Chains A and B, each alone.
Chain A
Amino acid sequence: MSWTKKDLLGLEYLTPQEIELILDTAESFKEVSTREIKKVPALRGKTAVNLFYEPSTRTRVSFEVAAKRLSADVINIATETSSVRKGETLIDTGKNIQALKADIIIMRHNCSGAANMLARALDISVINAGDGWHEHPTQALLDIFTLKEKLGKIKGLNVAIVGDIAHSRVARSNIWGLVKLGAKVTVCAPPMLLPAGIELTGARTSSDIDAVLKDADAVNVLRMQFERDENAAFPEQLDYFKKFGITEERLEKAKKDIVVMHPGPINRGIEMSSGVADGDNSVILEQVTNGIAVRMAVLFLVSQAREAKKGRQ
């Protein structure tokens, strides 16, 4: 098994073997962050550009730390400071970055498919750090990595994903990845937040959080964004917490060692109570740590794929 793709756009596009390879590679990379000198020269002389069209601190910083631990140089471009505002098209921006001889673009964009489009237009690697509602592959990979670390396997696990599935790229990437690796996924949300045809991904749907939690080995709780103006019929904040919030009371009826995940940042008291967020079942901070290893693995694999291609030519 070897990695041949220059880009990472989404888990929908990967085989189970490719996902496993990333996870295995990440396992090796995790050790690097435990060293006194948390740095290896694997990407020495390479330049990674963080191109973020949406504000994001944690994903950007996680990628930056990952790239730096691999000795790559990292440049951050945020919309506020670039020519993006002057109306330059995404492809023009990408081609300019390519002309700077950068090697990898890590992009966050509010339009679904933006990473696919950029990857098609460029020779350099594009890593999707979240595009619209489409995919957020590295988040799902770190979720799956953490789950595997905690429970030893993915196959056969009952995993619940709770929250605004309709507008969540984290949900989509998790579903693709988990289903491919043989987990049983249930997405749980008010009916209006379950997108059309979601069951064709292989996930089951439910709007009964207590029933879902009863069987779940793990629950991934999505961040609720009530400021979103997508749907007039959006549930009230308090009402949502009452019906879908993950609380200590709810967890008491779940499996004792259920793994509770959250991609962050947490809205305490909206999708999850503080007690759960800080409780024994929570692996939220481990997710953050594992995010570095997973992103190191992805950065390494895509740049090796490009090197290997160049080597052959």
Chain B
Amino acid sequence: MPENPKILDQEGIQRAIQRIAHEIIEKNKDSASLCVIGIRNRGVYIAQRISGAIKQISGEEVLTGALDITLYRDDLALATGQPLVRKTEIDFDINDKNLILVDDVLFTGRTIRAALDALIDFGRPKTIQLAVLVDRGHRELPIRADFVGKNIPTSVKESVEVRLKESDGKDEVFIAEKK
């Protein structure tokens, strides 16, 4: 078995996040109304890093939240392991915000669909923009990302594995055969 091809290392991930932060500021000149919400689990950590980067660049604090989309998924019946319901933590008003939704990997688009449904239940943001660390293609719904760390062409037989310090002890992205 050959070594799994590494797509991004720690430095690559940091650069990607830095770039996404710049692009977000660029596109949302009025950053006072900005908020960043990550999808559990790893989307939350990336969201926090993006918020940190935005603050570094603009000096402004950015509202940051976490969204659990388990209750909005359309594939619960198909799930083999039972999903744990985790906390959604959005302790601010999302109405009229430019909301940046963050996830680690964009694949079929179904997670994003569930997240959009969930967000609509919380209020009416001015815009919802999508930021992902990796876009690996194979969309099943008409969804696209506004900010992409890296585009990675993959086959459906593969899976893209994202490791982050906060949850896995180190930063890396690689491709693995599907188990």
List the interface of chain A (C-beta within 8 A of B).
2-4, 24-25, 27-29, 31-32, 35-37, 39-42, 70, 297, 300-301, 304-305, 307-308, 310-312
A25 CA to B84 CA, complexed, in Å: 7
Knowing that A24-B84, A40-B71, A40-B118 touch, tell me 5 more A-B residue pairs with CB under 8 angstroms: A31-B87, A31-B89, A300-B71, A305-B82, A308-B79
Count: A-B pairs, CB below 8 Å: 59
Q: How far is the CA of A257 from the CA of B73 in the complex (A)?
A: 42
A residues in contact with B84, CB < 8 Å: 24-25
Number of interface residues of B (CB under 8 A): 23
Main secondary structure of the interface of A (DSSP, over half): helix
A37 neighbours in B (Cβ, 8 Å): 121-122
- Tell yes or no: B81 within 8 A of A by CB: yes
**A36 and B123 within 8 A (CB):** yes
Least Cβ distance of A2 to chain B in Å? 4
Q: In the complex, what's the smallest C-beta–C-beta distance from B117 to chain A, in angstroms?
A: 7
B81 engages A2 (CB within 8 Å): yes
Contact A311 B72 (CB under 8 A): no
Contact between B81 and A28, CB atoms less than 8 A apart: no
Asked if A41 contacts B88 (CB within 8 A), the reply is: no
Contacts of B85 in A (CB 8 A): 25, 28-29, 297, 300
**C-alpha gap A307/B80 in the complex (Å):** 10
Which residue of B72, B76, B89 is within 8 Å of A304 (Cβ)?
A: B76
Mostly helix, strand, loop or mixed at chain B's interface?
Answer: loop
Which 3 residue pairs of A and B lie closest in terms of their CB atoms, listed nearest first? A2-B82, A42-B71, A40-B71
CA distance A40 to B122 in the complex (A): 10
Query: Do A35 and B122 contact each other (CB < 8 Å), given the known contacts A28-B85, A29-B85, A42-B71?
Result: yes
Q: Provide the bound-state CA to CA distance between A32 and B84, in Å.
A: 16
Residue contact B72 to A42, C-beta cutoff 8 Å = yes
- A185 CB → nearest B CB, Å: 29
A312 to B117, CA, bound (A): 27
| Residues of B close to A28: CB separation below 8 A | 68, 85-88
**B1 within 8 A of partner (CB):** no
Q: Mark B87-129, 1 if CB is under 8 A from A, else 0.
A: 1110000000000000000000000000001100111000000
In angstroms, Cα B72 to Cα A36, docked, is 17
In the complex, which residues of chain B have a beta carbon less than 8 angstroms from the beta carbon of A307? Answer: 76-77
Question: Within the assembled complex, what's the spacing in Å between the Cα atoms of A249 and B60?
Answer: 55
Interface centre among B68, B77, B86, B89 (most CB of A within 10 A): B77
A203 to chain B, nearest CB (A): 31
> Contacts A25-B85, A308-B82 hold; do A41 and B122 have CB atoms under 8 A apart?
no
* B117 near A41: Cβ-Cβ < 8 Å: yes
Chain A residues in 8 Å Cβ range of B86: 28
Tell which of B79, B87, B88 touches A311, judged by Cβ atoms closer than 8 Å: B79
Binary flags per residue of B53-83, CB closer than 8 Å to A gives 1, else 0: 0000000000000001011100011111111
**Across-interface contacts of B117 in A (CB, < 8 A):** 41
13 contacts between A and B (CB under 8 A): A28-B88, A31-B89, A32-B88, A36-B121, A37-B121, A40-B71, A40-B118, A42-B71, A42-B76, A300-B71, A307-B76, A308-B82, A311-B78
